[in-house]
Amino acid sequence: PGREGPGCPKKPVSTKTGIALLYDEVSENAYDIRLKLTKEVLTIQNQDVVCVSGSDHSTNHRTVTLHRQPVHGLGLSIKGGAEHKVPVVISKIFKDQAADQTGMLFIGDAIIQVNGINVESATHEEVVHLLRNAGDEVTITVQYLREAPSFLKLPLGSPGPSSDHSSGASSPLFDSGLHLNGNSTNTAPSSPSSPIANEPKYEKRWLDTLSVSLSMARISRYRAGTDKLRSNAFEVLALDGVSTGILQFYTAQESADWLRAMSTNISDLTLQNMKMANKCCSPSDQVIHMGWVNERLEGIDSSQLYKFKFLALKGSSFYIFSTPPVSTLDWVRAEKIYNLCEVLFKIHKLWLADDCWLQANLYLGIHQDFDLEDQRPYCFSVMVGHGKSHYFNVELASELAVWEKSFQRAIFLEVQRTGSKTYMCTWQGDSLCFTVDFALGFTCFDSKTKNVLWRFRFSQLKGSSDDGKTRVKLLFQNLDTKQIETKELEFQDLTAVLHCIHSFIAAKVASVDPVFIDSQSIARKYMYTN
């Protein structure tokens, strides 16, 4: 216990920072951002240029006068233009040359004016021509472009070594160098454009633009309305509806690391919320587990295949919510509430390392009732009364393992608390009662006279069959004769009774041989192979 091996990854750290992209689905552009993860909050930062000293009358616009050097020109390069639907931006600043010496220009600055002429709607060539023919003293007005599209491939550092995360491929937009001498009339070396002491000083910094609370937050890796996984990307949605937008990462490993780190922090906060809720609940009504899942909705327009649902295992019940319960009153407002003894948890899909599907369930063999053509891994269903089922999907194998273990524990605790369940049934016109008892096994008695008709232990049940509607045959072995005795019964809700029998037998096995139950765990067995 506690030993880490090759198959047991370390728990992700709770705090983390790194560079990512924010993808805009409307413009189909992605912008460089910085992520800061703490135990409780995910913060998105954008780069901006801020005044750090001196008087600054306009925080958005900076007007800078450049003195063209005879050899190195203006000491900068530009990219972009109206033909690319982006402003012309400074893409390079050369160390110790004119632009660098001002201390007021930065990579990522959008050029607004050149010598008083507005160039916001100008093409790349128009701005190049204007800058090269502007004379020895060039006054430009700039504004930092906070959401510079990633296709510009602007390095995040300025000036100095590039911290560009990109693949190194050249940008589709050409860099026009203005560090070479333009049409200068002055052949004498110009003096360095050193910033004056009283002039404002600027720095490029990462500034907080959005903070998303992770308490009860949910994560989605899927494109809205589809079963298509986003490539190295996901979205985080807070309980209050605030969304990070689509966070895109440069590698699959980065995406997986961030997904695990955020999921871990969300799970830890959920655990804290559970502990708080349990302080107000009796020992028999404790929250065992709760969290977000996606529920597959059957028989509707394919544009809404899955919908977020919040599940909870509490006391004797399994709850399905559209939004998490925040107050004690919220628990009675669940969309669905089921008795835990009468549900059956089944795992459907795990995505293994070799990309093959594993379709399995916890105890009863392969389950093929559902259409398994959808592309989501980590799926499970909860079968309920009257033959109905809920089909769910989670984002990570570790989440699936937790749900599997939690359903087991919640059901076993409820069986032990309840002790026995009695159902009304009939056979050949007689009104009977059928009891499943944790200690005694199965008992059938007359509902009027209370006379016991037959009784068998769990170990005597050797098989069963049913018509899928109301009628079941239970096959018991007589301890004395070793012969099989068939008992037929008819129930109003046969599914609930069969699930109850399953729950009681599984709980009985768990109480006698917990190692066997652990060995049957599908999710935990494979959760580290992906």
Conformational region of residue 251, where left means phi above 0, alpha means psi within -120 to 50, and beta covers everything else: beta
Average pLDDT over residues 415-443: 96
* pLDDT, mean over the chain: 82
Whether the per-residue pLDDT at 262 is higher than 90: the answer is: yes
- pLDDT tens for 135-176 read 889 999 999 988 878 777 777 653 333 334 443 333 445 667
**The residue to which tokens 């012309």 are assigned:** 88
pLDDT in the model for residue 70: 86
pLDDT value at residue 516? 64
pLDDT at position 61 is 87
pLDDT given for residue 43 in this prediction: 97
Q: Is the dihedral of CA 406, 283, 341, 216 positive or negative?
A: negative
The percentage of the chain sitting over the pLDDT mark of 90, rounded to a whole number, equals: 58
pLDDT of 362: 35
**Residue-by-residue DSSP string for 502-529:** HHHHHHHHHHH-HHHHHHT-HHHHHTT-
Domain 55-199: CATH superfamily, name plus number: PDZ domain (2.30.42.10)
Confidence (pLDDT) at 160:
35
Report, as an integer, the average pLDDT of 51-79: 82
Q: Which pLDDT score, from 0 to 100, does residue 166 have?
A: 40
Q: pLDDT > 70: what percent of the chain?
A: 78
Alpha-carbon gap, residue 233 to 47, rounded angstroms = 21
* Ranges of each domain in the chain: 55-199, 281-405, 419-517
Check residue 517 and give its pLDDT. Answer: 62
> How confident is the model at residue 366, as a pLDDT?
35
User: Can you give 293-309 as a three-state secondary structure string?
Assistant: EEEECCCCCHHHCEEEE
Pick the CATH number of 419-517 from 3.50.50.60, 3.30.2020.30, 3.40.190.10, 2.30.29.30: 2.30.29.30
Whether the predicted pLDDT of 485 surpasses 80: yes
**Same fold across 281-405 and 419-517:** yes
pLDDT value of residue 300: 54
Q: Please check the confidence at residue 443 and state whether its pLDDT lies above 50.
A: yes
Q: Which pLDDT does position 198 carry in this prediction?
A: 61
Contact 18, 24 (CB under 8 A): no
Q: Which of 276-285, 349-358, 473-482 has the lowest mean pLDDT?
A: 349-358
CA distance 222 to 293: 13
From 1.10.260.40, 2.40.170.20, 2.30.29.30, 3.90.930.12, which CATH number describes the 281-405 domain?
Answer: 2.30.29.30
Q: Is the pLDDT of residue 52 over 50?
A: yes
pLDDT at residue 482, as a whole number: 93
Closest CA relative to residue 46, chosen from 144, 143, 148, 146: 146
Given pLDDT bands bounded at 50, 70 and 90, which one contains residue 59? low
Please list, in sequence order, all residues whose beta carbon lies within 8 angstroms of the beta carbon of residue 272, skipping any fewer than 6 positions away: none
pLDDT at residue 10 above 80? no
Question: What's the pLDDT band for 227 if we cut at 50, 70, 90?
Answer: confident
Given a cut of 50, whether residue 29 has pLDDT beyond it is yes
pTM over 0.85: no
- pLDDT tens figures, 172-201: 456 676 654 444 444 333 344 444 556 678
